[in-house]
């Protein structure tokens, strides 16, 4: 399997596509810009979804569902919102086809009274609903989340990272006070960061977006940023403080405790199947993807080493017993007893698919009461006791999970630099990674750097995230020569 994958050093973009194909995570579909997710990819998303869903519910959120189709007039109610999404909207104008001359055509008599936009995001339809649900301070806070698909008509697509249709979750909350909404926005950013680090084994930087990078209609957008192995940044999640913008647009008011009308304060936040792309590019190697154990659809693959035309019952009994012991311990395990594939082929396929731990058991292992345990992250192998297999696997899974995070964190630290001159900045950006440089806070300087280097401000980082660097210490912007309140994170990005 490994020979089907382009080495990262030769062509990182092709490597990414090859890994997705070889690991059976996704494939392009007949619909431009959309993807098919086979079980390997969809089960990974299910595990992400289930982990996040538990974290959302633990912080007091409930799930709901809102329509896929949004009246065009709804988007027009919030000026920044419609400007931000207008060029990406798919629009439904008719509701019927008819046959004419042996061909299906759009029936011109079936035009909708008002065009419907296929959901690019749900703020407008949800705040129209909230305006009916919220009447009094007693109705607040309202904290809902939706698991859904959205459509944004991207012109340049890449599997998981940027597709016309993708899966995601979007949280939408309503609050009685500004501070409560701001606290919610920060809390959900922390949830995303904890998920990225504890489940995905992917270190992230937390911060706030500049005005030019904000979500359309937001007062502030907070984000988590991760660094991929090619030195590019990837925005992995966002949480938006919407102020009262959408409440005003949809006339969503409540009677406060002084019996006075007041506009509701709002947030929204979301992550998508882009996280799968982030996982691949954070942990993958030239042999394929490497799955963090907490998210891996299969955590352990058991491969029996049987003899052709031999008595293999003892080997299969041992394999089945290990499988049962692991299932009882809560491990996601597969016993690969397919006889149409040789063990070596199976080993290679599980390596491509990134299964964290592989167990092999053959006649000699049965005699010794052992199995060979191999780790996907390091390739290390050891003989372990079959009777104590659950304890050995639990240890290995923990070590793989922690080891992947430690390795990704070390990579980020090695590829994070400071620059105090514009020439040094330009040179470092060519090398890739995060570059911490002073910024004067103006959109003009931000645009100049982007135009000249293709680097963007990924975020204004929260303090204390870079060892030995005080990003809040004032200085001078080396581009404009103007005073700077602190360093921001620049990088080229997906």
Q: Which of 167, 152, 156, 148 is nearest to 36 (CA)?
A: 167
Q: Is the pLDDT of residue 2 over 70?
A: no
Q: Are the CB atoms for 19 and 366 separated by under 8 Å?
A: no
For 41, counting Cβ atoms within 10 Å of its Cβ (0-12 exposed, 13-18 middle, 19+ buried), the class is buried
3-state secondary structure of 356: coil
| pLDDT band, very low/low/confident/very high, at 3 (cuts 50, 70, 90) | low
Query: How far is CA 82 from its chain centroid?
Result: 25
Q: What is the pTM of this model?
A: 0.96
| pLDDT band, very low/low/confident/very high, at 1 (cuts 50, 70, 90) | very low
Task: Kindly state the tokens that stand for 441.
Answer: 């806070």
Task: Kindly state the tokens that stand for 342.
Answer: 């040789």
Segment 371-420, tens digit of pLDDT: 999 999 999 999 999 999 999 999 999 999 999 999 999 999 999 999 99
Q: Is the pLDDT of residue 195 over 60?
A: yes
318-354: string of b/e by CB count within 10 Å (b at 16+)? bbeebbebbeeeebbbebbeeeeeeeeebbbbbbbbb
Segment 25-81, tens digit of pLDDT: 999 999 988 999 999 999 999 999 999 999 999 999 999 999 999 999 999 998 788
* Mean pLDDT of the region 265-275: 98
Cα–Cα dist 404/410, whole Å: 10
Question: In sequence order, what are the residues at sequence separation of 6 or more whose Cβ sits closer than 8 angstroms to the Cβ of residue 468?
Answer: none
Cα–Cα dist 346/278, whole Å: 26
Please identify which residue in the block is written with the tokens 């957008």. Answer: 221
At residue 419's C-alpha, the angle toward residues 416 and 424, to 5°, is 110
Rg (C-alpha) for the chain, rounded Å, is 26
Helix (H) or strand (E) holding 459: strand 456-461
Q: Are the CB atoms for 261 and 253 separated by under 8 Å?
A: yes
Q: Are the CB atoms for 6 and 287 separated by under 8 Å?
A: no
Segment 76-120, tens digit of pLDDT: 998 788 788 889 999 999 999 999 999 999 999 999 999 999 999
Cα–Cα dist 355/338, whole Å: 17
Cα–Cα dist 388/384, whole Å: 8
Q: Are the CB atoms for 201 and 412 separated by under 8 Å?
A: no
Tally: H helices and E strands in the chain: 14, 27
Bridge-based pairing state of the strands 416-419 and 456-461: unpaired
Q: Are the CB atoms for 434 and 490 separated by under 8 Å?
A: yes
Helix (H) or strand (E) holding 27: strand 27-28
Segment 326-366, tens digit of pLDDT: 999 999 999 999 988 999 999 999 999 999 999 999 999 99
Phi, psi at 42, each rounded to 5°: -70, -35
| pLDDT band, very low/low/confident/very high, at 310 (cuts 50, 70, 90) | confident
Average pLDDT, the chain: 96
For 426, counting Cβ atoms within 10 Å of its Cβ (0-12 exposed, 13-18 middle, 19+ buried), the class is middle
Question: In sequence order, what are the residues at sequence separation of 6 or more whose Cβ sits closer than 8 angstroms to the Cβ of residue 23?
Answer: 40, 288, 289, 352, 353, 354
Cα–Cα dist 466/469, whole Å: 5
Supply the DSSP symbol for 139.
G
The pLDDT assigned to 124 comes to: 95
- How many beta carbons lie within 10 A of that of residue 69, not counting itself? 13
Segment 414-424, tens digit of pLDDT: 999 999 999 99
Percent of the chain with pLDDT over 90: 94
Cα–Cα dist 344/134, whole Å: 61
């Amino acid at each position: 399997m490994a020979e089907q994958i382009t080495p990262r050093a030769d062509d990182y973009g092709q490597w990414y596509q090859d890994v997705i194909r070889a690991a059976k995570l996704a494939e392009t579909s007949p619909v431009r810009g959309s993807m098919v997710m086979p079980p390997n990819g969809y089960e990974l998303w299910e595990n992400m979804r289930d982990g996040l869903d538990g974290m959302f519910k633990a912080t007091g959120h409930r799930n709901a569902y809102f329509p896929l189709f949004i009246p065009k007039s709804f988007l027009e109610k919030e000026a920044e919102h419609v400007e931000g999404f207008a060029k990406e909207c798919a629009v439904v104008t008719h509701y019927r086809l008819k046959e004419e001359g042996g061909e299906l055509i759009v029936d011109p008599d079936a035009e909708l009274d008002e065009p419907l936009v296929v959901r690019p995001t749900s703020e407008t339809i949800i705040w129209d609903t909230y305006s009916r649900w919220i009447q009094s301070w007693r109705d607040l806070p309202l904290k809902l989340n939706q698991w859904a698909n959205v459509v944004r008509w991207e012109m340049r697509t890449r599997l998981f990272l940027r597709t016309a249709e993708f899966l995601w979750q979007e949280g939408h909350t309503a609050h009685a006070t500004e501070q409560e909404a701001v606290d919610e926005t920060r809390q959900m950013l922390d949830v995303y960061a904890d998920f990225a680090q504890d489940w995905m084994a992917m270190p992230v930087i937390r911060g706030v977006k500049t005005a030019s990078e904000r979500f359309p209609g937001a007062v502030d957008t907070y984000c988590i940023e991760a660094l991929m192995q090619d030195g590019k940044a990837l925005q992995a999640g966002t949480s938006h403080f919407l102020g009262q913008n959408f409440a005003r647009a949809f006339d969503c008011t409540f009677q406060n405790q002084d019996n006075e009308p007041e506009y509701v304060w709002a947030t929204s936040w979301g992550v998508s199947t882009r996280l799968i792309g982030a996982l691949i590019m954070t942990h993958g190697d030239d042999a394929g993807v490497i799955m963090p154990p907490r998210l891996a659809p299969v955590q352990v693959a058991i491969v029996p080493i049987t003899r052709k035309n031999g008595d293999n019952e003892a080997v299969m009994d041992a394999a089945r017993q290990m499988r049962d012991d692991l299932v009882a311990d809560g491990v996601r395990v597969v016993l690969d007893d397919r006889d149409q594939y040789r063990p070596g082929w199976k080993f290679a396929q599980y390596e491509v698919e990134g299964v964290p731990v592989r167990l092999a058991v053959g006649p000699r292992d049965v005699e010794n009461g052992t199995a060979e345990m191999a780790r996907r992250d390091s390739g290390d192998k050891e003989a372990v006791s079959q009777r104590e297999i659950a304890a050995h696997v639990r240890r290995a899974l923990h070590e793989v999970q922690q080891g992947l995070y430690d390795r990704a964190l070390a990579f980020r630290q090695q590829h994070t630099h400071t620059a105090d001159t514009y020439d040094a900045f330009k040179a470092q950006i060519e090398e890739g990674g995060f570059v911490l440089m002073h910024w004067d806070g103006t959109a003009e300087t931000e645009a100049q750097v982007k135009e000249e280097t293709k680097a963007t401000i990924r975020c204004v980082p929260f303090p204390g995230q870079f060892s030995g660097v005080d990003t809040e210490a004032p200085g001078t912007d080396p581009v404009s020569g103007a005073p700077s309140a602190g360093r921001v994170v620049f990088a080229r990005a997906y």
